[in-house]
Amino acid sequence: MASAAKSENDESKRPKRGNGEGSIQQLPSGKWRGRLMVGYKSDGRPDWRTFTGETRKAVQVWIAKTRERADTGQLGDREQERQTYGEYLDRWLEAIKANVRTSTQKRYSILVRVHVKPALGQVKLRDLRPDGLRAVYAKLLDQKSGLSPTTVRLVHTLIRKSLADAVNDGILASNPAARVRPPRRADFEAKPPTAEEVAKILTTADETDDRLTGLWTVLALTGARLGELLGLSWDDVSWDRNALEIRRALEDVDEGAPVLDAPKTNRARRLLTLGKDAVAALRAHRARQNAERLRLGEAYSDYGLVFPTSVGTALYERNVIRAFKAALRRAKVRDDIRIHDLRHYHITEAAHAGVSVKALSTRVGHASVAFTLDRYAHAFESADRDVADAVELAVRRAKQPAAQAPEAASQG
């Protein structure tokens, strides 16, 4: 009887379980622990989940949410529950290698290492929230970070794509990044060099025997992208047609060998007509390259590239940019000219010369005519003014003989 009475007293002290709340008990520390079976493991054993909270109410909320996730198939295994975003990104970067360009994978890896992991790497994947992402973007845009809106938009694109894959794989129920608006894209303002500056760069490069004179010349006179020319082979040069065929671009360098990939868009595959100066620069460059090949003999690594190093291996883009900065210093022009500004120069000058936007867009391999108009509206506005002036001038000239005719008749 005594034991029965003791049992009844113990039972009365035990907190009653709320409706559908699972097992809840208060710990000696005063905190509360909840326990809930969410199903069965692959080996047939029950899959129990536990949670410790400061209050009984917090545990009840956890049990309710966990049961809902289990019922709707949103509850992953324990490894997924504990997985941090940094751990997930490591696996994701490896998984996407086969589906993205080498340059894209490399850029994503840098963004993850430098910006994403320091801010979000230790956060559990399932704990990512839109407000947390907004806070990270605001911090990256802070003056101390010095990141441009364009770079932060790239970070957002990476996060959104990685979490979209987590949703597709059933790890997440929804994508928190899809509910976040990235920073507004910074207004594009090309600051191309003037014709006088380009002439000075090319003349000085020729006079100082710069071995990349041909590259600077072809960049300025064709508007091609740097990667397109670094991946160009002599097989892509048509001397009969005075043209270059852009079929691929340099993505990376593997122990001197070029890693090539198709251009970014179908419109980037194109035939580029060369003027006389560009052809002359290419011929002079080829003569220099043949001399380097003969001098080195078997030590020359011939990958058939038009613009390789002096030993035939593929050029690293960073080394080309460094050489271009040196060319600017020798030419004594402003040092804020970027190598990509030679492309801007070509497009702007062509627009000012009255080349149609469609023809120009095709020549430089833009994704669409709309993109060309959006990026270079100022150049085409200037050309439009020139057209208006030219048409008015033609009309004025046509009017002059008619206005002078009566005077001529009276003199007769």
At 28-38, the pLDDT tens digits run: 999 999 988 87
- Give the tens place of pLDDT for each residue, 294-309: 999 999 999 999 999 9
Q: And the tokens for 151?
A: 């770079």
Separation in Å, CA 161 to CA 43, 92, 128, 135, 299 = 34, 10, 14, 19, 45
> What confidence tier does 64 reach under pLDDT thresholds 50, 70, 90?
confident
| Percentage of the chain modeled with pLDDT above 90 | 57
Q: 331 pLDDT exceeds 80? A: yes
DSSP-derived letter for residue 23 is: E
Q: 20 pLDDT exceeds 50? A: no
pLDDT at 27: 93
pLDDT: which is higher, 370 or 173: 370
Q: 345 pLDDT exceeds 90? A: yes
pLDDT at 18: 43
Most confident of 6-10, 262-266, 334-338: 334-338
Mean pLDDT for all residues in the chain: 86
Q: And the tokens for 1?
A: 């009887």
Q: 384 pLDDT exceeds 90? A: no
> What confidence tier does 276 reach under pLDDT thresholds 50, 70, 90?
very high
pLDDT: which is higher, 228 or 11: 228
Q: Which of 365, 364, 253, 382 has the alpha carbon at shortest distance from 308? A: 253
Q: Report the distance separating Cα 1 and Cα 323, nearest Å.
A: 97
pLDDT at 390: 66
Q: 196 pLDDT exceeds 90? A: yes
pLDDT: which is higher, 405 or 109: 109
> What confidence tier does 76 reach under pLDDT thresholds 50, 70, 90?
low
- Give the tens place of pLDDT for each residue, 125-168: 988 999 999 999 999 988 666 788 889 999 999 999 999 998 88
CA angle 19, 21, 23 (to 5 degrees): 115
Q: And the tokens for 9?
A: 């007293």
Q: 226 pLDDT exceeds 50? A: yes
What DSSP string describes 24-50?
EEE-TTS-EEEEEEEEE-TTS-EEEEE
> What confidence tier does 78 reach under pLDDT thresholds 50, 70, 90?
low
pLDDT at 209: 95
Q: What are phi and psi of 38, to 5 degrees?
A: -105, 0
Q: Report the distance separating Cα 382 and Cα 389, nearest Å.
A: 11
pLDDT at 6: 46
